[in-house]
Amino acid sequence: MSVQTVFPDDNRVQYDPTDVAPACWVAYVSSTFPSGAVLLGTGTLVAPDRVLTCAHALHCDEYGGRARSVEVTLALNGGTAPFGPPVPAREWQVPEEYRLAGSPYPPGQVLDATRYIYDFGLITLSKPLDPARGLYPEIVAAPDQQLRGAEVNIAGYPGDKTPGTMWNGSGKLPAVTDPHLLFYRISTFPGQSGAAIRMASPPPKPTFSVVGIHVAGFGDEANFAVRINTEVYAQIMAWMPATDGARLAPAGLAR
């Protein structure tokens, strides 16, 4: 769907098994559009029935607009699904700003990263999933100083690997200067769109913080994510009240 880059120092490793944290929260997302096109992406289970992903996995003008159906397979590991078969979504949402502006670019063209600042969405599943005994990742609007130089990971389902296998890449965030986007030289490939940019939560918390949502890349320059800033955080809160079970850190506060 969008340009993404595998860099020469590609350090992605396969997650196997996938039924333990943090792999157990990573979701394989399959969306069918009015044109008949099927797009594959990645998401993160952030509450029993909520999956955070990119908007372009749920709404794509190129293929007729809003997806006709969406299903999620949690922690898919090739031909094995440790938490059961695909779960249909009963609802999916993207920001109004994204829907009205239309998809950022046709496939293979990323000319202006700012077109992606609303490229995030939320899937509501038709049944709850609990892969880690009630624990879910935190969604955090982290300040610049917490992000600068932070070690982050991106796990998902890249299309250059065996179908349905989960791979994780890691690296440090460089200088953080953009309030809306995070840039990094961590290898990704189409299929990983929607994956969480995750930081380990400080001890003794046994989970991690979602600080961004991977969306695309600038050729050989960098890949990038929608940053969880206060605006993105507020929209997610509006879609998913804290009572739904997600671990939501107060916006703008380091955890």
Domain ranges of the chain: 13-129+136-244
pLDDT (tens digit per residue) in 180-223: 999 998 989 889 999 999 998 766 666 789 999 999 887 677 89
- The predicted pLDDT at position 115 comes to 84
Maximum C-alpha span of the chain: 48
Residues ≥6 apart with Cβ < 8 Å to 190: 1, 2, 4, 158, 159
Q: What pLDDT is recorded for position 253?
A: 38
The confidence band for 152, taking pLDDT boundaries of 50, 70 and 90, is very high
Which positions ≥6 away from 85 have C-beta within 8 Å?
73
Each residue of 159-191: pLDDT tens digit? 889 999 999 999 999 888 899 999 998 989 889
The answer to whether 188 and 223 have CB atoms below 8 angstroms apart is yes
What is the three-class DSSP state of 70? strand
Is residue 22 reached through a cis peptide bond, with omega within 30 degrees of 0 on the bond before it? yes
pLDDT of the residue at 113: 78
Cα–Cα dist 215/225, whole Å: 5
List, for residues 70-117, the tens digit of each pLDDT value: 999 999 999 999 999 999 999 999 999 999 887 775 555 566 778 899
Q: What is the pLDDT of residue 110?
A: 65
CATH number attached to the domain at 13-129+136-244: 2.40.10.120
Q: Rounded CA gap, 240 and 231, in Å?
A: 14
Place of tokens 């009963």: 90
pLDDT in tens, 10-28: 888 999 999 999 999 999 9
- The per-residue pLDDT for 146 is 92
Pairing of strands 247-248, 138-139: parallel
Asked whether residue 251 carries a pLDDT value surpassing 90, the answer given is no
**Per-residue confidence band for 48, with pLDDT thresholds at 50, 70 and 90:** very high
In this prediction, residue 252 carries a pLDDT of: 42
Radius of gyration of the chain (CA): 16
CA 59, CA 244: separation in Å to the nearest integer?
A: 24
Task: Give the whole-angstrom CA distance, residue 251 versus residue 254.
Answer: 9
The answer to whether the CB of 144 falls within 8 A of the CB of 254 is no
Evaluate if pTM is beyond 0.85: yes
DSSP E strand boundaries for 134-205: 138-139, 151-156, 167-172, 181-184, 196-200
Q: Note the pLDDT of residue 250.
A: 44
